[in-house]
Amino acid sequence: MKKIVLYSMSNCPHCDTAKAYLDKNNIAYRLCNVKTAAGQKEFRRANFRSVPVIKIGEQYLQGFKVNTFKALYED
């Protein structure tokens, strides 16, 4: 099973869509709030500027599209 990290922040509709999908499909993930000091540091290391970003194993998905997520997750 691949580890999932969802980089997000409050009041982000795309982040909420990604969370809802993961929750609905019982996919375990760690939520990383990029507005916290620790979250900002981790997010900066990943070298992205906007959320949501989902880390799937060692791969990153910027934004959230169900088909792209499934392809990376089920690979």
Domains of the chain: 4-74 (3.40.30.10)
State residue 1's pLDDT score.
Answer: 77
* pLDDT > 70: percent of the chain: 100
Decide if 54 contacts 47 (C-beta within 8 A): no
State residue 75's pLDDT score.
Answer: 82
Mean pLDDT for all residues in the chain: 95
CA dihedral 52, 13, 74, 31 (to 10 degrees): 60
22-54 residue pLDDT tens: 999 999 999 999 999 999 999 999 899 999 999
Decide if 22 contacts 56 (C-beta within 8 A): no
* pLDDT > 90: percent of the chain: 92
Tell me what the mean pLDDT of segment 47-72 comes to.
95
